[in-house]
Amino acid sequence: MKSYSDYSIQTVSLEQKNNPNVLKNLKSPPKTIYYRGKLETIDFSKCLAVVGSRRITSYGRQVLEKFIPDFVSSGVTIVSGFMYGVDTLAHELAVKYGGKTIAVFGNGLDVVYPVENDKLYSEILESGGVVLSEYKPNHKPHLWTYPQRNRIVAALSQMGVLVIEAGEKSGSLVTVKWARKLKRKVYAVPGPITSSASVGTNYILQMGLAKIAVKSSDIINIEHKSTQDRSIQGMSRLEAKIYQTLLRENFTLDELAIVLGEDIVKVSTEISMMSLKGVIYEVSGKIYLT
């Protein structure tokens, strides 16, 4: 795989015809955009921003795993901010499922931040995606550059902005403000009322600042086949029973055996096999579908 540094940095100014028209809608549009990748191949009418908490929970991971494959299969380009948590996983899943993604940096393109995303940087470009910034290549990240970056994330995403997990003072809420100014649609996935990572998402839903999204077809027009029916094909009786139960709620092994009314040894054996297949995973004793 080529390194991101093998791709030349290109520029486009506000006056040039190939400047994304969507950026011109901003009150203070960037005078110059620096980018790597094939910006000219992006259809901005099919760009959707996916943003959220830097401290992603297992719930947030499950939500992204549920939404991103459908977005990719419908030709949607995922736009996000390349930071820890939701941003990074949204980019990773878009690449994993063969889609395009745009990463908007809050620093220059020769500065990889966070540093552990250097491989992801290269993968985005290899998969036909784009990495861009309004800052000169060696510009270091600062606290003020991220709210500025969020206006570009919102502007590029003509399909709207989807918020998956956001704390009370999350930067994702800044993206929501920009999206509303630009008359973009805003969607949010509701979260547990006990989770600090869902305070922001639940707030914007409660205040009517976003539409609720619990499945991909709430955002894009697709023929949404039943995930459950598709997934249980070829499973044993007990495996299918475990899968259908975990679709509703997550349990510990002991709880699962009780709910199923099955012998715990048999359930434990089946859980081990499902884990090896990558169907489920365990976090702090609780069992989750992948």
Kindly tell me if the per-residue pLDDT of 228 is higher than 70: no
Taking the C-alpha atoms of residue 215 and residue 218, their distance in angstroms, rounded to an integer, is 6
- For residue 168, the 8-state DSSP code is T
**pTM across the whole model:** 0.78
- Please tell me the predicted confidence (pLDDT) of residue 231: 58
The answer to whether the beta carbons of residues 118 and 146 sit under 8 Å apart is no
Percent of the chain with pLDDT over 70: 95
Which segment of 60-64, 169-173, 263-267 scores lowest on mean pLDDT? Answer: 169-173
Here the tokens at position 92 are 């990773």
Q: Are strands 130-133 and 32-37 parallel, antiparallel or unpaired?
A: antiparallel
Contact in structure between 52 and 198 (CB atoms under 8 Å) = no
Q: Percent helix, strand and coil across the chain, each rounded to 5?
A: 45, 15, 40
Looking at this protein, which amino acid is placed at residue 56?
I
Q: What type of residue is 169?
A: K
Buried (b) or exposed (e) across 262-289, using 16+ Cβ within 10 A?
eeeeebeebbeebeeeebbeeeeebbbb
What's the CA gap between 79 and 44, in Å, rounded?
Answer: 10
Rounded to whole angstroms, the Cα distance separating 157 from 56 reads 22
pLDDT grade, residue 70 (50/70/90)? Answer: very high
User: What sign for the dihedral angle of Cα 115, 120, 123, 129?
Assistant: negative
Query: What percentage of residues in the chain have a pLDDT greater than 90?
Result: 74
Q: How many helices (H) and strands (E) does the chain have?
A: 10, 11
- Tell me the CATH architecture of domain 8-217: 3-Layer(aba) Sandwich (3.40)
- Say if CB 52 and CB 86 are below 8 A apart: yes
Confirm whether 8-217 and 227-289 share one CATH topology: no
Mean pLDDT of 258-266: 92
| pLDDT band at residue 277 under the 50/70/90 scheme | confident
**Domain locations in the chain as residue ranges:** 8-217, 227-289
Please state, rounded to an integer, the average pLDDT across all residues of the chain.
91
Q: Is the model's pLDDT at 225 over the cut of 60? A: no
Q: Where are the beta strands (DSSP E) in 182-270?
A: 186-189, 211-212
In this prediction, residue 283 carries a pLDDT of 78
- Rounded mean pLDDT of 253-266? 92
CATH 3.40.1190.20 fits 227-289, yes or no: no
The dihedral sign for the CA sequence 113, 117, 121, 124: negative
Q: Is 255 helix (H, G, I), strand (E, B) or coil?
A: helix
